[in-house]
Amino acid sequence: MKVLVTGDRGYIGSVLVPKLLEKGFQVVGIDSGFFENNLISKTREPNYKKITKDIREVKISDLSGIDAIIHLSALSNDPMGQINPKLTEEINYKSSVRLAKLAKQANVKKFIFSSSCSIYGIAALGVVDEESRVNPLTAYAKSKIKTEDALKKLASDNFRVYLLRNSTVYGFSPMFRNDLVVNNLVTTALAFGQIRILSDGTPWRPLIDVRDLSDIFIEFLKTEDKSLNGNVINIGFNENNFQVKDLVDIIREYLPSCKVVYTGEHVSDPRSYRVRFDLFKKHFPQAYPKWPLSRSVKDIIENLQKSKFKRKDFERGVYTRLAVLRKLMSEGKIDQNLFWK
């Protein structure tokens, strides 16, 4: 099977692509390469066809011979909307729908979209599932829900559409990001000897390791399950819903001398959601977290130490998506619409 992975050079793509190649899939990647200079560890370059192109400029000819698409490219996470909410709409929503329409025309059989549980926003009344009302609070979350709604309409017997509402991801990747909650707490612990919790620690988040999520994307490539076609499915594990403050104990297992500081700087971010993953469990009963938090946190620490992670990299935002894009703009390398100059 020939698979196009958009955003192949991002945090998830850099873990997913080697797994796909190992399993014998042919892979083509399309990525604008925004973060290519920010690899934390130079692993052996996986050998596959990489196209460096903005997703807004993809043509039908780029899709010829492709059987399935895993669509990861996006301005990925809630604060990214701060650059310009219109760009999040353009890149995450409009170009995703355009890509799917082109894919359908090009006879691609499957389209797997990487949505986010972030669309649940505040779920004060307990645990949410796929039937719950969504409450997207950011440009990012709004772009994901609009895309889900538009993609549902394109689903057909010959064009299967899977809408994966993913948990927040953690874990080491050669294209590491530290703007995701677990990765962030571990890096602050290493860089400053302090676990800096930006909220009051009470918000809930469903979490998943980047390797576990990559395996699940591959399960969706393989599945023949028609009942999920055109439907949303939450991706994660019931036991992996955590309150941010619970993460502290897990990190301190490995870095016991770290202090805990509640900065409260994110009091304006009210997002808190616990998510039910029963539908996923029903369809993929064999899936389980091979990388539970504790194992993955230990692995992040070991890998960051091996990669000679430096406090100054953290301060300069080398592994923070928003900071990198802002830097590329200020250096005149990309324009205000995020096109390379």
Residues 271/122, Cβ–Cβ less than 8 Å: yes
- Cβ(261)–Cβ(221) under 8 Å? no
Which of 257, 330 has the CB closer to ligand NAD?
A: 330
**Least distance from ligand NAD to the Cβ atom of residue 115, Å:** 6
Cα separation, 209 vs 292, whole angstroms: 7
The kind and range of the H/E element at 246 are helix 244-254
**Across the chain, where does the E strand assignment appear?**
2-6, 26-31, 49-52, 68-71, 110-116, 122-128, 160-166, 168-170, 194-197, 204-209, 231-235, 241-243, 259-262, 272-275
CA 184/CA 169 separation, integer angstroms: 11
Kindly state the smallest distance separating residue 157's Cβ from ligand NAD, in Å: 26
Comparing CB distances to ligand NAD, the nearer of 164 and 258 is 164
Q: Residue with the closest Cβ to ligand NAD?
A: 10
Least spacing, CB of residue 179 vs ligand NAD, in Å: 9
Given a contact cutoff of 8 angstroms between Cβ atoms, the answer to whether 69 and 103 are in contact is yes
CB of 32 to ligand NAD, least distance (A): 4
Dihedrals phi, psi of 105, to nearest 5 degrees: -60, -35
CB under 8 Å to 133, separation ≥6 — which residues? none
CB of 310 to ligand NAD, least distance (A): 20
Q: Work out whether the CA dihedral 258, 262, 268, 271 comes out positive or negative.
A: positive
Structure tokens at 219: 């399960």
The alpha carbon of residue 312 and the mean position of all alpha carbons in its chain are separated, in whole angstroms, by 25
**Which tokens belong to 215?**
């395996």
Binding site for ligand NAD (CB under 6 A): 7, 9-13, 31-35, 54-56, 72-76, 91, 114, 116, 166, 168-169, 175, 177, 180, 321
Report the residue number, 11 or 277, with the smaller CB distance to ligand NAD. 11
Shortest approach of ligand NAD to residue 34 CB, angstroms?
4
Closer residue to ligand NAD in complex, CB, 10/136: 10
- Residue with Cβ nearer ligand NAD (74 or 244): 74
Please identify, using beta-carbon distances, which residue of 73 and 199 lies nearer to ligand NAD. Answer: 73
Which residue, 99 or 258, is less far from ligand NAD as judged by CB? 99
CA nearest to 242, candidates 173, 167, 188, 300: 167
In our burial notation (b when 16+ CB lie closer than 10 A, e otherwise), range 82-117 reads ebebebbbbbbbbbbbebbebbbebebebbbbbbbb
Output the smallest distance, CB 257 to ligand NAD, in A: 28
Nearer to ligand NAD, 58 or 301 (CB): 58
- Give me the least distance between CB of 150 and ligand NAD, in Å please: 15
